[in-house]
Amino acid sequence: DYFADINAYIATIEAPEYPWLINESLAAEGAAIFECECSGCHGTYDDDPANETYPNLLIPLPVVGTDAVMASYAAGEFDYLEDWFNSSFYGTVTTVAVEDPFVGYLAPPLDGIWASAPYFHNGSVPSIELVLDSSKRPTYWRRVDYDSSHYDPAALGWPWEPAQSQADTPVSERKYVYDTTIISHSAGGHTFGDALSDDERKALLEYLKTL
């Protein structure tokens, strides 16, 4: 019975507000772009939660194109977790389908997305700017520092710098390098922003600050 109280509390939690200035006119342009290009998977957002939508879509791997290892294992070697889930307490509330129509990833809601770096399910992309332009994603990268308050408000994400491959990095430094050539670490896929112009991506970034 008390879980209803927990759900009520969770419903009151809001995403953190972007703490810097937002160009409202540019964000309005970005909102229109978002509605056309992104809302079909990631939903719509409004000051009034009653007007928001979230499709909760499972996107097939060939469509999203991001690293397939996690989804493939979840649907293969780890599919026993379906039975575990369904027979647990959680299974009394909902169930996981034993036979999914396809393997893929859920498109997440984007509330507070500006504060959620790094991006993709494997943390392979340090900023939203790079999520929207796959051609600029680094193969090897590392954070500039580990100060949690050091943030890139233009790119919306972690300040980063190019790095060398794990093999070319001293052993003591390898843990700091993200190497996208390692299995399950790929930064490919989600190329939906590539077709946008630089100005459109800039406007979209400004809009995402408002979520």
Per-residue pLDDT tens digits for 133-178: 999 999 999 999 999 899 999 999 999 999 999 889 999 999 999 9
Please give the mean pLDDT across all residues of the chain.
Answer: 91
pLDDT value for 147: 93
* Type of residue at 4: A
For 176-206, what is each residue's pLDDT tens digit? 999 999 999 999 999 999 999 999 999 999 9
> Do residues 43 and 52 touch, judged by C-beta distance below 8 A?
yes
- Separation of alpha carbons 72 and 166, rounded Å: 25
pTM confidence score: 0.86
Q: How confident is the model at residue 97 (pLDDT cuts 50, 70, 90)?
A: low
